[in-house]
Each structure stands twice: as structure tokens, then as C-alpha cells.
Structure 1
Amino acid sequence: MSKSSQPAVVELKGLTRSFEQGGVRIDVLRGIDLSVGSGEIVALLGPSGSGKSTMLQAVGLLEGGFGGRIAIAGEEASQMPADERTRLRRNYLGFVYQFHHLLPDFNATENVVLPQLVKGTPRPDAEERARSLLTSLGLQERMDHRPSQLSGGEQQRVAVARALANRPHLVLADEPTGNLDEATSDRVLAQFLELVRGEGSAALVATHNERLAAKMDRVVRLHDGMLE
């Protein structure tokens, strides 16, 4: 069921992105309009190369060069200076990628604690939050293990916990189970959706998998640089 009637966590208006390649202009995004409501989980469906990652980079305020309007939690972010964009990312957004990108020299708990310390959370509170999230993901026996000691599914669940550590309004997930086998992918996605819903966060999840997309609240399709 769509929750788009609730206040928008992110709103895109006329979002564009073009690149120059070999003297040729390539329009990757050609006027994207999208609103994601509070607590809504939206699947961004499209084949590889359709611009899903580029769109998530725009919403995540990870690079410039985009045209149009990007509003995060009601704040117009398109023309913000870098420090203000960093503040928005830290306070409102969480990220999950296809590859976990965990810090190899830190254990699971420490990987979830670190982004909280960056935000200014006291260490005892950050550690308690990390343990709670990892336990909810079935990792209570793996908290002291480093990434190299974890399976692919476990690594990705730690990455999910890290993304939710600072209680983001919006989680951006780019093919979050794309590097896992089907059975593990299903388990991790189910836990991801359950945790995101339990936290009350919204999510925009890029995937090329129709079956996984069907498990979310709403599906939007990116084709030829536009949403269908």
C-alpha cells in the first residue's frame, strides 16, 4: 500500500544529469519527478545501465552536476554548499550498497558504532544501538567478528545495521542484495525491509529484480532516463 500521502522525505522535480563522452552528450536522467513519503519503501526498478545508481547519487547528495530540484526533509539541497550537504547526509540519510564496504580492521559492532560517533553520539549509547540492531538482524553471535570472518549475507546485514545506525529518515539502497545468491538475497532483503519498517524509515531501493521489487510498497520504473 502506498504511503505517498504522508509528508515527503525526498522530493525530486525535473532532475537531470548529462555526461560528455567522446564529444557526445549522453542524457542519463531526463527530467525525473518523484516524491517518497515518510515510512514508504519504494523500489526503483530498471535494467543495468538505466541510470538507477546515478539517480541514487543525486538523492544522496554524493556529487554535483545535476539539474532540477532535490529536497530532503523539506530542505532544498540542490544548491547547498558542501558542508550543508554533508549535514543533510549525516542527519537524514543512510546508505546500503551492493558491496558492503565495511572497514576491514573493525569488527561488526565497531562498524555500526563509528558512524554514530561521527554524528556525536556518546560511545555507550552508540554501542547499545549497534548491539540492538545487530541482534535484530540475527547477528548476536557475530558482533565481535571482523568482515573477513563473516559470510556474504552476514556482511550485508552488518551494512544494513550501519545504514540505520543514525536513525535516518531515508535509506538509499543500490542493489543491496545483488552480490548474494537467491536464497541469501531473499533472507537479507526480508530482514532489511522488516528493520526499515520497524524503524519507521523510508527507503528508495534500486534493483533490476522484479520479484524483489514486488515486496516493497510501490514500484517506479526508470527507462530511457525517465520514470514510468
Structure 2
Amino acid sequence: MSENGVKPVVELKGLTRSFEQGGVRIDVLRGVDLTIRPGEIVALLGPSGSGKSTLLQAVGLLEGGFGGEIVIAGESAEKSDSHARTMLRRNHLGFVYQFHHLLPDFDARENVILPQLVADKPREEAEARAEQLLTALGLGHRMDHRPSQLSGGEQQRVAVARGLANRPKLVLADEPTGNLDEATSDRVLAEFLALVRGEGSAALIATHNERLAQKMDRIVRLHEGVLE
């Protein structure tokens, strides 16, 4: 627990992850320690192949096979069963990926409504939340458009709104603007960070872009399986 009595959003203690490839053991994470406080936006820097996505998968409770300890909002993931981990993920985490992964048969508003319905939010509340987020991201006039009718930047804005729809304590973003040109990337990231800060969420954002990382509160670097 931190000095002011507020629990960290996430604590990683001695996190490890290894793979077997061609009979050879590859240690991707070799003892990662990380604490993220409420409202803090942390850049996770490292070159391609350094294990950034693996680290995000660990924090996101998206797969097993990790050693060490993962604590989300004060609850230990290792001591939780599958259902409890699902509830941790649903109640506390939001995700934004490099590729938007929007549902093609649904419009922008519906793509932001659906994860809220999965979390048992009332339909009326989910619709209002979707419209609030999309309007904040400059998409108030594009809510009825399907992903194929949106530009790359607009698609990623919808993905950002979807990631924040359930008011997560922590947003995990894996190269969230890596698929956009530089000018669009700058605009979308600025809007993303402003929205995360406005919502009071924390964020762990993986990037290989030093310039973008400088816009965040703190930078940690993944090097040879440990954080610097």
C-alpha cells in the first residue's frame, strides 16, 4: 500500500515468462517489478521483440504460464480462480490494441455499447456512455458509421472509447497508434491521454516511440527481460 493509503492499481513482483522454441528455452521476462499508482500514465518502452506485448498480456490476465506475482487493485491474480480473474479483468481493466479489432457489422456507437452490456450495464446507461466518449473524441457525427466507413484515425478513436467504456482503473495499450501516420498518431494519442486523464484512469502504454513516450508521466524500459 502506498504512503497515502491508496492501493496501487497494479503491482508486479518478480514476473517471469519463458517459452520453449526448437528445444531451446527463451526467457522473455526475467523478473519484472512494477508498481502503477491510480491515475498514473506509464510508457513501456522497448524495441520490437523485447517482450512488451508479453508483459501486457500478463497484466491483462490474458494467458497463463507466468511466474511471480500479479496484483490488480489489491487482489492477487495467482490466488484467484478462472472466474475471479475474469471478474478482475472485466471490472478493472480496459484494452486498446494497435489494430482496432472493431466488430465490422456494428456501428461506432454499438461497438462501444457492447462491452458495457457484457458487463451487465443497463442499455440506456451504455448508450449514454458511448455517446459521451465518442463525442469527447470528436466522433459525435460519426456514431452511426460502421468501421469500414471510418478512417484509420477514427477507427482507433472508437477503439479508445471502447477500451474506456467500463471505466477501468487501468488501461492497457499495445502500440495504440502504431498503425497510423505520424500526424494522425500524434492527434489520436493526445486525445487518448487527455481522455484517460479526464477519466482518472491509470494506463500502461507500450511503444517503441521515444517521442510519444515523453508525453506520458513516467517511462520504464524493458531490456533483456527486466525493467530499467
Deviations 1:20-71 (A, max 9, x none): 0011000000000000000000000000000000000000000000000000
2:104 counterpart SS class: coil
Structure 1 position 67 matched with structure 2 position 32: no
Contact 1:4/1:37 (<8 A) preserved:
no
TM superposition score normalised by structure 1? 0.97
Superposition pairs of residues 82-161 of structure 1, within 5 angstroms: 82-161=82-161
The alpha carbon displacement at 1:81 in A equals 1.6
Tell me, what secondary structure is at the counterpart of 2:70?
A: strand
Aligned counterparts of 2:181 and 2:78: Cα–Cα separation in 1: 37
Inter-partner Cα distance in structure 2 for 1:202 and 1:49: 25
CA deviation vs aligned residue, 1:131-188 (integer Å, no higher than 9, x gap)? 0000000000100000000000000000000000000000000000000000000000
Alignment correspondent of 2:31: 31
Map 1:1-228 to 2 at 5 A: 7-228=7-228
Distance 1:32 1:72 in 2: 15
Q: What is the aligned-residue identity percentage? A: 79
Distance (Å, rounded) in 2 between the aligned partners of 1:105 and 1:143: 13
Q: How many residues align?
A: 226
- Give the AA of the match of 1:31: G
CA–CA separation in structure 1 for the residues paired with 2:163 and 2:3: 23
Q: Which runs of 5+ in 1 are unaligned?
A: none
The Cα of 1:82 is off from its aligned counterpart by: 1.3
Q: Give 1:4 shift.
A: 9.8
Query: Quick one: structure 1 residues 123 and 4, their matched pair in 2 at CA, closer, same or farther if it must change by over 3 Å?
Result: farther
Determine if contact 1:72/1:88 at 8 Å carries over to the other structure: yes
* 1-structure distance, mates of 2:212, 2:174: 13
Counterpart contact for 1:4–1:35, Cα < 8 Å: no
Q: Using a 3 Å threshold, how does the CA distance of structure 1 residues 138 and 59 change in structure 2: closer, same or farther? A: same
- Gaps spanning 5+ residues in structure 2: where? none
Residue 79 of structure 1 deviates from its aligned partner by 3.9
Map Cα deviations across residues 65-114 of structure 1 (whole Å, 9 max, x no partner).
Answer: 00000000000002422111110110000000000000000000000000
Q: Taking structure 2 as the reference length, what is the TM-score of the superposition? A: 0.97
Runs ≥4 residues deviating over 2 A:
3-7
Q: Secondary structure at the match of 1:19?
A: strand
Contact 1:4/1:40 (<8 A) preserved? no
Q: Which amino acid is 1:116 matched to?
A: Q
Shift in Å at residue 206 of structure 1? 0.2
Contact 1:77 1:85 in 2 (8 A): yes
Aligned-partner SS, 2:167: coil
| Partner Cα distance (2:82, 2:183) in 1 | 41
